[in-house]
Structure 1
Amino acid sequence: MHKDFTLIPDDQPGVLARLGEACGRADISIEGLSAFTGQGKGVVHVLVPDAEHALEVLAEAGLDVRAARDVVVVEIADQPGAMGEICRSVADAGINIEQAYLATGGRMVMVVDDVDRARELLGVP
């Protein structure tokens, strides 16, 4: 099961390089990433398939994972309106999307307030 990790590092050069290098050395695939900065801090969301191993590796690299959440990962067509269609079905079911970003392989990652219902609705494991 995939997890979305949240990291809040200081805004300085090399954070994403350290993240990528540590995961690469440990043969951990980063399947999705969202990163931005503001007010001297970074906010990084990273999608990994093996959460326990990744937590150890990131801790050894000095990267503090502040949160690890189950997510919904759904295939998304590369065409206009695809995101709207997926998000509309989730919204109409009363499920709140708290965060979303694109991942490798034409997939969208969603952090939602009801993971099980969203997975069932969208037909994903």
Structure 2
Amino acid sequence: MAKDLLLTLEDTPGEGARVGEALGNAGVNIEGLCAVVRDGRSIVHVLVEDVPAARAALDGAGIRVEGETDVFVSSPISDNDMDTPGRFGTLARALGDAGINIALVYMASGNRIVLATSDNARAQELLQSTM
């Protein structure tokens, strides 16, 4: 099962390369990635399948994993459906109407959506019927 790993890096050239190289050298594929810079720091979310290998590789590169989150990763969504205006609004509305809060969302490889919610199991059930 894929998990989201939270990293905080310096906002300097080469930090992304350190993450990619550490994971790549360990044979860990990055399934999804989201990074945002704020106040001189990069907040990075990395989706990986092999969490123990990813943690070991990042630790070996001096990169601390600050958090690990259970996420729901959607099935692949067709290009036509993914690129439809309002698609995310429809998905988010279905969750909101069900009282499910979205804590984290980003795109993953293969036209998949990564979500961490207040109820991942219920979110997965709801979204499978709308995707």
Size of the aligned set, in residue pairs, is: 124
The match for 1:32 is 32
Q: Which amino acid aligns with 2:45?
A: H
The one of 91, 94, 100 aligned to 2:105: 100
Q: Which amino acid aligns with 2:91?
A: I
Q: CA deviation at 1:20?
A: 0.5
Could you tell me how far apart the structure 2 residues matched to 1:46 and 1:93 are? 27
Q: CA deviation at 1:41?
A: 1.0
Q: Which amino acid aligns with 1:10?
A: E
Q: CA deviation at 1:95?
A: 0.6
Could you tell me how far apart the structure 2 residues matched to 1:92 and 1:39 are? 34
Q: CA deviation at 1:38?
A: 1.6
Q: CA deviation at 1:52?
A: 1.4
What TM-score does the superposition give when structure 2 sets the normalisation length? 0.87
**Which digits, 9 at most, give the CA deviation of each residue in 1:94-119, with x for residues without a partner?**
11001111111001111111122222
Could you tell me how far apart the structure 2 residues matched to 1:26 and 1:5 are? 16
Q: Secondary structure at the match of 2:114?
A: strand
5+ long unaligned stretches in structure 2: none
Alignment RMSD (CA, Å): 1.6
Could you tell me how far apart the structure 2 residues matched to 1:122 and 1:50 are? 25
5+ long unaligned stretches in structure 1: none
The match for 1:114 is 119
Percent of aligned pairs with the same amino acid: 45
Taking the TM superposition and a 5 Å limit, the aligned residue runs for 1:40-55 are: 40-55=40-55
Could you tell me how far apart the structure 1 residues matched to 2:51 and 2:25 are? 16
Q: CA deviation at 1:121?
A: 2.6
Q: Secondary structure at the match of 1:9?
A: strand
**Which digits, 9 at most, give the CA deviation of each residue in 1:42-93, with x for residues without a partner?**
1001111111111111111111110000001113332223222222211111
- After TM superposition, the runs of 4+ consecutive aligned structure 1 residues lying more than 4 A away are none
Q: Which amino acid aligns with 1:117?
A: R
Q: Secondary structure at the match of 2:11?
A: coil
